[in-house]
Each structure stands twice: as C-alpha cells, then as structure tokens.
Copies of this chain bind each other. A is one copy, B any other.
Amino acid sequence: MAPPKLTYFPIRGLGEPIRFVLSYANEKFIDDRITTEDWPKIKPTTPFGKLPILEIDGKIVNQTAAICRYYAKKAGIAGKDDWEALLIDATVGTFDDMRMAISGYHTDPNEESKAKKYDILIKETIPFYMGRLDKQVEENEGFFVNGKLSWADLWVVALLGTMSYFAKIDLVEDYPNVRALKDKVLSIPQIKAWVAKRPLTDY
C-alpha cells in the first residue's frame, strides 16, 4: 500500500497538525509541498479548492481536523470513550476559535480595521483563550484532557508556531502550563524526530 500523501503549501500552518499526528502514529507519509506558482493549477483538482488534502489509496480527503481525528483513532489518542472524545474535540474546536480570530486579523487587507483587530486580539482575545486553556491544562495534570496525551495536545502544539508568528507574540510566554505541555509534546520521540527533519520555514 502506498504511503499517504499530504499536499500542502511549503509552510507549517494547517499541514502541521496532520504531520504531527502521522508522525506520532508512525505512519510513513509523503510530505508534498507545492509552490505558490503551482497552486492555481492544482486548486481545481482539490475537493473544495483548499489545502491540505491527503491522498490515501487513491482517494483524496480534505479537512485538517477530520484527517487528524482519523489517524488519532488509529494511534489510540482520540479518547477512551465517547465522552473523552467529546472533550478532545471540544478543545480542538476551542483552539480553532482563537485561531480563526488570529487568522482574521492576519489576512485583513484593510490596514485600519487590521490595527483595530490587533488591539482586541492582544488585549482581549488571546489572553482570554490562553488563560482558560492554561487553566484547563493545569486542571488536567499537564494535558488538555484527563491527564494523558490526546490529539488535542498535538493539534495545539503543532499550530502554536504559526499562530504566534501571525500574532507577532509568543502565545505561550505567559502561560506556564501550556508552555510545559509544548515542551512535553516536542520531546515525544516521534515528534522530536519529525521536528528535527522538517524543512525550516518561518511559520
């Protein structure tokens, strides 16, 4: 069986959570990075005009979280029961709400509204989410859910770099519990090996 092929832009971004989960699951995968010049040609061939996409046995699937959840189940980090799976999914969704706020700022073409958004982001949105996420990790013995590793931890740590780059601050700086979780995830042998060999990119 051919290894799954992940197609994404040459950045970490939304490709990185999939790369983390595939690495954690010890799945060999093709890390296909397309150039910005090739994108207009490739776009119409994707299911919904967006990347990342993953090709598995000739079938192409989209949506980062859906793909991560699929491999997380195989790797045993998607919850021991439906309730735990719900808590993991909720954490991923919550982090995504903050991610969308940061991306909404980052991609705003209007300088004036962009500046306004940045102010709210730095003073309200990020401290609000990071403060509560930090408390969640504190209450769950160093992980997001029930004191053990889940794909919610991989999701957040994989995205922290890109989100910090977009927000122009180190998101975990003031949040010791998430910071410790980040260190812990990055010291998992499979993740450490992936990070050591991945192409160096700004975000």
**Residue pair A86, B66 in contact (C-beta under 8 Å):** yes
- Closest B-chain residue to A88, C-beta based? B66
Q: Which residues of B contact A129 (CB under 8 A)?
A: 48
**Residue pair A85, B63 in contact (C-beta under 8 Å):** no
**Contact residues, A32-83 vs B (CB, 8 A):** 47-50, 61-67, 69-70, 73-74, 82-83
Chain A contributes a number of interface residues (CB within 8 A of B) equal to 34
Q: Which residues of B contact A87 (CB under 8 A)?
A: 61
- Closest B-chain residue to A136, C-beta based? B47
**Residue pair A70, B82 in contact (C-beta under 8 Å):** yes
Q: What's the Cα separation between A100 and B94 when bound, in Å?
A: 15
Q: Which residues of B contact A70 (CB under 8 A)?
A: 82-83, 85-86, 89
Q: Which residues of B contact A90 (CB under 8 A)?
A: 47, 61-63, 66-67
A-B contacts besides A50-B97, A70-B86, 8 pairs, CB < 8 Å:
A49-B128, A61-B86, A63-B94, A65-B93, A66-B92, A69-B86, A110-B113, A113-B113
10 A-B pairs within 8 Å (CB atoms) are namely: A48-B132, A49-B128, A62-B94, A65-B93, A66-B86, A69-B85, A69-B86, A70-B89, A73-B85, A110-B113
